[in-house]
Structure 1
Amino acid sequence: MHDSPASIRDIPVSVYIAAPAGIAGGRAAAWLDAQETARAGRFRFERDRETFVAAHGLLRGALSRHIAGTGPAAWRFTASPLGKPCIVRAPGMPDVRFSLSHTAGCVAVALCEGRETGVDVERVTPATATIELAQSFCTAAELAGLAALERSPIQPDSAHGDCPTPMAERFFRLWTLKESVVKGLGQGLSRPLTCAGFSLDQPTFASLGFTRLGFAHLDEDLRRAGVWHVQSGLLASGHAFALTMLLRAGERPRLTAYAVSDPGALAAGVAPAPLPLAVSSCSSHDSTVFRCGGWNIE
C-alpha cells in the first residue's frame, strides 16, 4: 500500500555539479586542510590533482552555503564508525550529511540534513564499458542485458571514438547507481556492488530521454535498513549521474540541482544557477517500475 499524498514528507537534497577546470586554480586550493592538501599532492597527473581539489573545494563552498557562520576553510572532517566521511559538528550545528564524487571533467556534491545520501558521476567512455569489467559489479541479469546490447546492431551516429553506445550508457548507469547505493550505505569498498541490482529499459542517451528504472535485487539487510530511493540520469556533459537516499516510510526525496562555476560565490551566498536534469527514479518499496522525468529542478 502506498502512502497518501498528504502523508508524504519531502526530504530536501541539494546536488551541486561543476567542471573542475577553473575551480582548482581559484580559491578552492587555499581552503583545503593539511590532510587534503597532502592527498592532492600525491596525484601523479595534474588533471587528477585538479579534479580532487575542485571536488573538495565544491564541498566546502556548498557546506558554507547551507550552514551559515562557518567559512569554507574552517570545515573539519572525520569518519563514521563504518568509515564514511562526515563533518565535525559544533554544538547546535545542523546534522548535514554529504557525499561527493569526481571523475574526468565533472565533480558533484550532495547535501542532505539528517538522512544518508550517496552521489556518483562517471564519464561515459565506451572503451571502458566491457563485459569483462562488468562482471566485477553486475548481477547475472544485468550482465545478460549488457551482452544483448553489445550484440545489438544499433550504433552511435558519430564515428568519434568517445561517442556513447547503448551498451556503454547502460554500463555506466549501472555503475553509478551501484556506487551511489554503497556510498549512501557508508560501507565503501567493504560492500560488493552486487548488493543492489537494477532493471533498465533501452537507454536513449542522444536525446537525454527517460529510462524506466527499478530495483531488481537488494540485499536483505539493506532492505531492512529503510526505503532506498535512487535517481539516475545523463548529464549534457557526457557523464552518467546517480543519487541515492536512504529514507523512512512516508518520505520521498525533493531534489534541487545546481550548476556551479565559483564555489567562492557559493560560499558567499550568491545563488547558483539551477541545473535542469532528466532523471528516472524508483524506490525499493515500489512494487512496480515507474518512470519519472521532465523535471525542471530548481
Structure 2
Amino acid sequence: MKIRSNLLFNTIKLLILGLIAFVLSFPIIIAFFTALKPPGEIFTAEPSILPHIYTLQNYIDLFSIREFPNYLLNSLLVASTTALITLIIASLAACAIVWMKFPAKQMIVRSILFTYMFPEILLVIPLFLLCYHLNLVDTKAGLVLTYLSFSLPFSIWMLKSFFESLSIELIEAALLDGCSYAKLLRKVVLPVSLPGVTAVMIFSFILAWSEYLFANTLIVSDTNRTIAIGLQTLLGYYRTDYGLLTAASMVMVLPVLAFFIAVQKYFIKGLTVGAVKE
C-alpha cells in the first residue's frame, strides 16, 4: 500500500511539474514554429501552432542583414569577457573571505549582497555618468564594467558558500605542502569546485547576453550594439516582420539554452551546495 501511494504521489508530482514546464516553455514553442512559417501562415484567420509549410527563409533573410552577425559577435564578446572576469575576481575574493584574516572582514561580507539589493533602474543614471566621465560610453568595455557591478556580488557569495563546503583538511594539507594561496586556488580549489565555477560562469554569461536596459543606455552606435538591442531594430514603425523577429529571438535563445542543458547538472549542484551545512 505504501509503495502504491508513493508511486501515485510521484506520478502526480511529475505530471504537475511537466504541466508547469510546458506552460512556461509554451511561448518559446510558439516562437520556434513561427520562425519556420512563411509570411502567409503567420497572419491568418485560422492560426495553428505547427506550420503547414516549413521554411528557413526567415533565418536566411535574418543573416542577410549586414549588421546582425555583428550584433551576435558583440554579445558573445561582452558576455564571455564578463563571465571570465567575474570568475577570476569572484574566486579570488571568495578565497580571501573564507581562508584569510583581515580587518573588517565581516562588514565586507555583509556589504557584498547589500550592493546587489539595489534595483537596476536606480543605477542607470549614476553608471551612465560614471562611464561618461571615463570616456566609456558607446564602448564594450563600459558594458563589461557595468555588468560586473551586478554579477560580482552574487558570484562572490555563491563561491564563498561553495568554498566553505570544501574539506578543510584538503586545504590545510595543500598549505602545509608549501602551496601558495594563488596556487591553492588554481590547482586545488577551482578543479574541486567545478559545479560552483560553472554556475558562476553561466549566471554571469546569461546576465550579460540578455541584458537590455544598460546596453540600450550606454551603446549609441550601430557597430557596438548587442543582440538584445539589435532585436529592437527589427521592429518597424508601421509593420513588423514577425517571422524575422521570432527567428532572431530563436538565434538569441537557443545557443544559451543548449549550453545550459549541457551543463545543467553542474549549475544545479553549484546553486544548492553550501545551502546545507554538514
TM over 0.5: no
Query: Higher strand share goes to which structure?
Result: 1
TM-score, reference length from structure 1: 0.23
Higher relative contact order (CA 8 A, sep 6+): 2
Structure label with greater radius of gyration: 2
